[in-house]
Each structure stands twice: as C-alpha cells, then as structure tokens.
Amino acid sequence: MIAVDTNILVYGHRRDSPWFDAASALLRRLAEGRETWAIPWPCIYEFLAISTHPRVYKPPTPMPYALNQVQIWMESPSLRLIGELEDHWSELARILATARIHGGAVHDARIAAICVEHGIRELWTADRDFQRFPGVRTVNPLVRQA
C-alpha cells in the first residue's frame, strides 16, 4: 500500500504550487484507482494547518475549501486513513532511538511509525528527511525515478 505525505497533498491542492499538475494527477490516479492507498491522520491535520496558514500562502486556502478537499479524498473507496495502533509507542520509540531523532523531526517520526505499523510499502513524499527512518521506503513521485 502507498501512503501519501502532507507535501504531496498540499502540492496537489494548491494551484499556485509549481508541482500542482503532477501532484494532482497522482492523487487523482490513486483516488480513482482500485489499489488501496493511505493518508496518515497526522498528514490530514498538517495539510489543514499548512494550506490555510496566512504566513505560508497568500492568500491561504479558506478552511471550508480545505475541508472540502479532505472530504473529496475521503470519498475515494480505495483510501484508508491510518493512525496509531495499540503498540504505537514501541514503534515510535524504536524509530526515535534508532534514527537519533529530536525536535521538529519527531512529527515526521510519528508519521513513519504509523506507516511501519500499517505495513506501508512506500511513502510518497518530497521530503528527503524521511529517508533517515528505518523501515520506511520513500519515493518522490514528482521526480522521474531511475
């Protein structure tokens, strides 16, 4: 199963993003496809926070539009919204210790732990920081893979 990180969601939503066309096409392909795909819940929260933030985007996405975008993704019958499982703390602690994570990277480690817990095959992200987390294969679908 493929999981999608926040930046791909934001790029696929914001028409002013230089990656809008590619990201929106990727998201459309996932949403309309038969293969199960996932969005970690923390990425939904982060999408809402970033896309509606007036210091990040001028103008920001109005919250009703951002909520509508999430609703559209949720209508995909092949989408699974994934979150922490019962033993989440053990996986998160392992990732934090193994990768020597601190500060702001803890948020990404949380997403990585959720992906590992759910057996995610690959995380689609434009954030190279995810490469440091054990057990998470990352792919930037916006660049041609060798």
Angle at 105 between CA 121 and CA 139, to 5 degrees: 30
Tokens matching residue 123: 């995380």
Domain that holds residue 73: 2-139
What are phi and psi for residue 61, nearest 5 degrees? -70, 130
Tokens matching residue 122: 């690959």
Residue 144 in domain: no
Of 97, 91, 89, nearest in space to 120 by CA: 91
pLDDT tens figures, 23-37: 999 999 999 999 999
Taking the model in full, what pTM does it have? 0.94
Residue 145 in domain: no
What are residue 39's DSSP bridge partners? 81
Residue 68 in domain: yes
What residues in the chain have per-residue pLDDT under 70? 144-146
Angle at 106 between CA 146 and CA 42, to 5 degrees: 80
Residue 146 in domain: no
